[in-house]
Amino acid sequence: MDKVRLIKPYVSFPDIEAEFREIFESGIFTRGKFVEQFAEDIKSYTGAEHCFLTTSATTSLWLCLKLLGIGPGDEVVVSDFSFPATANVVEDLGARPVFADVSPDTYNMTVETLTASISKATKAIIFVDALGNPSGLDVIKETANALGIPLIEDAACAIGSSIDGQKCGSIADMTCFSFHPRKLISTGEGGAITTNNAQWADWLTAKLFHGAAGMKGIALDFVDYGYNFRMSELQAAMGISQLVRLDAIVDQRLRTRAQYVHHLAPLGFVPQQVDANVRHNVQSVVFKVPDSIDRDRLVIALRDTVETTIGTYAMSGLTYYETKYGCPNPVSTKLQECTLTLPCFEGVDVALVCDAVQQAIKSVTKEFTC
Ligand SMILES: Cc1ncc(COP(=O)(O)O)c(C=O)c1O
């Protein structure tokens, strides 16, 4: 059998052929109507008042911190169980990432772990929707508001997720999305920032255009210095074609996840937990593997048939951060060691994957007993 991949993109060439042709024929590759439309579509989908399309979630997070003036001497509390980009942007600006441990069930920062990580130097909080799951963001928002600390949502994985019907993108003070190929919407590389803050939107407008705001005579008026982390027209056309199908994609992924739970829960695999008021977009289908099974051996045993991987990283335990700041968090560390991500895409044969997992468990167990 062909190896089962972890994910397949939800965009194919016929979906965007006409738009790509139009872009090539017009010669307008940047700052055109597709970028404008994709940003408008994200605003109406998420309910956010402002949206800026960027090159990645990493540059988006970096810009949000820059906007808040984060720098040396400052601390930013970050959810520990995440891709390193979440902490790297803090470190890059000379501030200190403070790793808040996570719930062993939702894999997200909790009010308790956040509160324990706050100090006088805390200038921002980055809540990560672990693997697309925003569980707990609503209570973290209340806490952040009460403390008067800006809340950035690292929703790199969470486009399409919501809490009480409110979409990620309109909940935190600023939200950052990723359109990397492992996400539900892929533009190759790409990202977005959403916010309801008009002043911040003005800052982002100029900063994403080299510092220009309007015209001075017949030339641009550079009122500030700035950057270029903008998405291109071709990427935006790809994004538009997927966003219209996003809710259907999430429905399909939720069904796939339910099938996995049906097959794997009896084997002792525990799925990532989701609060009752949350709609999880299932960016990844992730289980905790029972202690009796060596997760790493399982991944290796499946290598030729089914692509699987770890859930994500305990950033506090990464060589760089542990060497610099010491003391990795226990729950995130355990999650990095015992979580398993399984293939999830349109048409994935869940029964076949679970059969392969069962066979692999047997072979791993046999190796142990030999
Ligand atoms: C939680 C989280 N934050 C940030 C990123 C970085 O996203 P990008 O590749 O768009 O920079 C990722 C990438 O997977 C991620 O999972």
pLDDT digits (tens, 9 = 90+) for 4-38: 999 999 999 999 999 999 999 999 999 999 999 99
Provide mean pLDDT across the span 107-113: 98
Structure tokens belonging to residue 127: 């809540």
If one looks up domain 13-243 in CATH, what number appears?
3.40.640.10
Fold match between domain 13-243 and domain 246-369: no
Residue 370 pLDDT > 70, yes or no? no
The per-residue pLDDT of the chain, averaged, comes to 96
pLDDT at 237: 98
Q: What's the pLDDT band for 99 if we cut at 50, 70, 90?
A: very high
Per domain, the residue ranges of the chain are: 13-243, 246-369
Provide mean pLDDT across the span 124-152: 98
Cα distance between residue 155 and residue 251, in whole Å? 19
State which H helix or E strand residue 63 sits in: helix 57-67
Which atom of ligand 1 is nearest the CA belonging to 82? 1
The protein residue with its alpha carbon nearest to ligand 1, atom 7, reads 57
Which atom of ligand 1 is nearest the CA belonging to 130? 1
Q: Do 233 and 35 touch, CB atoms closer than 8 A?
A: yes
pLDDT at 199: 98
Provide mean pLDDT across the span 190-217: 97
| CATH, domain 246-369, list 3.40.50.300, 3.40.30.10, 3.40.50.620, 3.90.1150.10 | 3.90.1150.10
Interval between CA 237 and ligand 1 midpoint (Å): 21
Residue 271 pLDDT > 80, yes or no? yes
Residue 367 pLDDT > 70, yes or no? no
Give one word for 11, left, alpha or beta, with left for phi > 0 and alpha for psi -120 to 50: beta
Mutate to test the pocket of ligand 1, among 64, 81, 83 (most ligand atoms within 8 A of CB): 83
Q: What's the pLDDT band for 2 if we cut at 50, 70, 90?
A: confident
Q: What's the pLDDT band for 366 if we cut at 50, 70, 90?
A: very low
CA dihedral of 100, 101, 102, 108, whole degrees rounded to 10: 20
Residue 334 pLDDT > 70, yes or no? yes
Interval between CA 312 and ligand 1 midpoint (Å): 11
Percent of the chain, pLDDT > 90? Answer: 97
What are 45-96's pLDDT values in tens digits? 999 999 999 999 999 999 999 999 999 999 999 999 999 999 999 999 999 9
pLDDT at 363: 84
pTM: 0.97
pLDDT at 149: 98
Query: Residues lining ligand 1, CB < 6 A?
Result: 56-58, 82-83, 85-86, 128, 154, 156-157, 178, 180, 191
Close Cβ partners of 212 (under 8 Å, ≥ 6 residues apart) = 206, 220, 221, 222, 223, 226
What would you report as the CA-atom Rg of the chain, rounded to the nearest whole angstrom? 21
pLDDT at 11: 93
pLDDT at 291: 94
